[in-house]
Amino acid sequence: MATSTNLGFPRIGANRELKWAVEAYWAGKIDAEELQQRAALVRRSHWDLQRKAGITHIPSNDFSLYDHVLDTSVMVGAVPERYDAPEGPVSLDTYFAMARGRSASDDAPGVPAMEMTKWFDTNYHYIVPEINRNQVFSLRSTKPVDEFLEAQALGIQTRPVLVGPVTYLLLSKSDDHSFDPLLLLEGLVDVYENILKRLADAGAEWVQMDEPALSLTLTDKQRSAFGRAYARLSSALPGLNILVAVYFGDLRQNTKAALALPVQGLHIDLVRGRADLENILAKLGEGVSLSLGLVDGRNIWKTDLEETIATARRAASVLGHDRIFIAPSCSLLHSPVDLDNEKNLDEEMKSWMAFAKQKVREVATITHVLNGGSARVAGKLAANAAAMASRRTSTRIHNPVVKERSASVTPEMSRRTSAYPERRKAQQQVLRLPSYPTTTIGSFPQTPEIRKARASRNRGELTTAEYEQFIRQEIENSVRFQEETGLDVLVHGEPERNDMVEYFGEQLDGYVSTSNGWVQSYGSRAVKPPIIYGDLHRPAPMTVDWIAYAQSLTRQPVKGMLTGPVTMLQWSFVRDDQPRSETCRQLALVIRDEVGDLERAGIRVIQVDEPALREGLPLRREDWDAYLEWAVECFRIATSGVEDRTQMHTHMCYAAYDDIIDSVAAMDADVISMENSRSDGTLLDTFRTHPYPNEIGPGVYDIHSPRVAETDEMSSLLRRAVDVIPSERLWVNPDCGLKTRRWDEVKPSLRHMVEAARELRGQS
Ligand code: GLN
Ligand code: ZN
């Protein structure tokens, strides 16, 4: 018999119960005991749900109050010294201090949080382990055992999930860059041995060790670490079955290493690594179980049951049913919780989708059919086949006009009429900007009043006309402020936007927003990505009225503000029935049309933001070029349909460009603004070795901090920039948009910024 399994369930709760509990604890509204009780309720309801769905291997320890990598650091005793918790169990407050920092109080100085970064290519952020040469690992938390026993007491046998020791070390950082964390593998494995022994004693039959690092490009030395670690764990724990889970990609160069692991089970991601299957089936060790990651854990689409059952049958025909586990491709942490909760989606739309709860049912159904039980689920299979057929043919999804336009994009469409030097002349004539022109990145503070007005409009308490009047007033205030401050290129401030992707998604055919499709982003934070379900069509201009209104108020140029195609793609759930590149091209065409409408409305400067370009990079370096090629092409399609004299800007909020600078240059924006002030000169170093051909605005102040930026700091940053960037191509702007700041922070900072630019011009 094949076994139905799950790798992990979203921990936030169907109504973000965990968020509310954790935030209430932070605010001092509930105590630790109540927090733990509420967390236990969330865990229990998820275990129950999976049991009822028919999952045999139900995960435990997939839960976390903040982050599972942080949990691992605490478990193995990797608590940096500054948290002053040298030994023994790690308290809840130390745990949260590691996650979020601690502010100074009367009796203790403040302590910064640990660094956070993206978990592989997902939008989930983990707390980066800090491991130094002298790190001594020791078991300082028994969370995996505690949660295993908690489930056991409820009559539920679970499969504990741990971040594998090699992935853990490979994700860590050290202030000593020459230090190889794998040198500490032996000591770390000692701790894992200890915890696995305790799990075995408590009655665990299987444990799941997540080693997604096996889907990265590794050195031989890194690869061999897996063999060493698991040889030790297997021999120390003969009675415990270990499943090594690899996900987020195919195995490629790591296939041999994965197959050689002396473990009882291997999980592979068949959504992203379908091509691996035959090879693995042919070479998998005697008696090793294969966990087939068939249900997409990274997206919201319903699984094609007929197709996945056929794949499962093929695997079972080679290995025998007993060695088959059916699973999602990766933990369901990355999918929203429950489609049944959705109010925004009609029945047909829902019939195409599955969130975490629906996905575990799919796993159970596939397993059931594979085990010979088709009769009982005949209805489900028929409904699934009907949904698949309707997705293939629905006119809500397929728009021949859009497809045809996308297919007939010509190379000219991704090229501006003239090269940058020509365009620059034309733009100077129209814009007549001073040297070191000043501008901002687009948004101004999203004040409580703005949020309130939007909420009132959504509840119907404000009419559309009243709401629009309110927004116009906001825009006018922003324009007046910018004029008074002396900024050169103004913005309208984006007060009408709830979110830079959702705002556009709401206005496009082929896009839909959910009411409750939250996915954890970090800690208690979740995002609600809109869904691209069909061919993308723009029924009407999306931004022109607002921008044109702002322009009507002033003689200064107002910069039109759009979100770029790659960022729209990256921050949405996307179609799985066509390549990402194709969806991106449709987005590019839609934005191109908007750019054209802005230009026709008299807008002379237009910015197309691409903050997500970098995070779209594939996990493996060898796949980068293919991605960058279509991503840059899409940006160019979106931005090249304008006259020479229209100045096109782009913006990205990171400073690490070394490895993609050629692609950034190939985007051929007239002006690019980027984060710089926090990066210790990384950005400027890049431009020293790779001169950027067009104009650049390296951010002169950090918008992430409430601190008011001082003129001197910005002047000295600018003087450093002038060393690297020719002065006639240097812009002056903050690191990023100002929506998260308050006006009383923004106003003085921008005044100082304008002062700094004037100083540089020799005007003061
Ligand atoms: N134009 C956007 C803003 O100013 C850009 C945001 C971003 O880069 N993430 O808010
Ligand atoms: Zn930004």
Q: What is the pLDDT of residues 118-159, one digit of tens each?
A: 999 999 999 999 999 999 999 999 999 999 999 999 999 999
CA distances from 337 to 5, 342, 671 (A): 17, 10, 41
Q: Which of 123, 440, 443 to mutate to test the pocket of ligand 1 (most atoms within 8 A of CB)?
A: 443
The pLDDT score that the predictor gives to residue 375 is: 85
Which helix (H) or strand (E) segment holds residue 207: the answer is: strand 206-210
The residues pairing with 205 across neighbouring beta strands, listed in sequence order, are none
C-alpha distances in Å from residue 366, one per residue of 295, 335, 360, 450, 546: 10, 19, 10, 48, 51
pLDDT grade, residue 177 (50/70/90)?
Answer: confident
Measured from the Cα of 653, ligand 1's closest atom is 8
Name every protein residue with a CB atom under 6 angstroms from any ligand 1 atom.
441-443, 500, 561, 609, 611, 651, 653, 736-737, 739
Q: Quickly count: other Cβ atoms within 10 Å of residue 577's Cβ.
A: 16
Q: Is the pLDDT of residue 435 over 70?
A: yes
Backbone angles phi, psi at 594, to 5 degrees: -65, -40
pTM for the whole structure: 0.96
**What is the arithmetic mean of pLDDT over 402-429?**
98
Cα(193)–Cα(637) distance, rounded to whole angstroms?
A: 55
Q: Which of 605, 736, 740 to mutate to test the pocket of ligand 1 (most atoms within 8 A of CB)?
A: 736
Residue 270 and residue 294: Cα distance in Å, rounded?
5
Q: Is the pLDDT of residue 402 over 90?
A: yes
The number of residues in the chain equals 764
Q: Atom 5 in ligand 1: which residue has the minimum CA distance?
A: 737
Class of residue 519 by CB neighbours under 10 A (exposed 0-12, middle 13-18, buried 19+): buried
Q: Average model confidence (pLDDT) for the chain?
A: 96
Given a cut of 80, is residue 507 above it in pLDDT?
A: yes
- 704 as an active site residue: the answer is yes
Segment 709-713 shows an average pLDDT of 94
Strand duo 531-537 + 3-4: pairing: unpaired
Element (H, E) at 309: helix 305-319
Radius of gyration for the alpha carbons in the chain, expressed in angstroms and rounded: 27
635-645: per-residue pLDDT in tens? 999 999 999 99
Q: How many A from CA of 697 to the centre of ligand 1?
A: 14
pLDDT given at position 89:
96
Please give the pLDDT value at position 289.
Answer: 98
pLDDT of 573 higher than 70: yes
Only one residue has tokens 């209104």, namely 549
**Residue 515's closest CA among 388, 352, 350?**
350
Question: CA 332 from chain center: how many Å?
Answer: 14
Report the pLDDT averaged over residues 246-271: 98
Asked whether residue 764 carries a pLDDT value surpassing 80, the answer given is no
Task: Supply the pLDDT for residue 378.
Answer: 94
Residue ID of nearest Cα to ligand 1 atom 10: 737
440 CA: nearest ligand 1 atom: 4
- Whether residue 473 is predicted with pLDDT greater than 70 in this model: the reply is yes
Nearest CA to ligand 1 atom 4: 737
- Give pLDDT, residue 213: 98
Catalytic: which of 267, 492, 704, 752? Answer: 704
By three-state DSSP, how is residue 435 classified? coil
Amino acid at 65: L
Q: Are 308 and 354 in contact (CB under 8 A)?
A: no
pLDDT digits (tens, 9 = 90+) for 360-393: 999 999 999 999 998 889 999 999 999 999 999 9
Q: If you average pLDDT over residues 419-441, what whole number do you get? A: 98
Would you say 491 and 558 are in contact if contact means Cβ atoms under 8 Å apart?
A: yes
What whole-number distance in Å separates Cα of residue 592 and Cα of residue 636? Answer: 9
Which of 501, 487, 631 is closest to 559 using CA atoms? 487
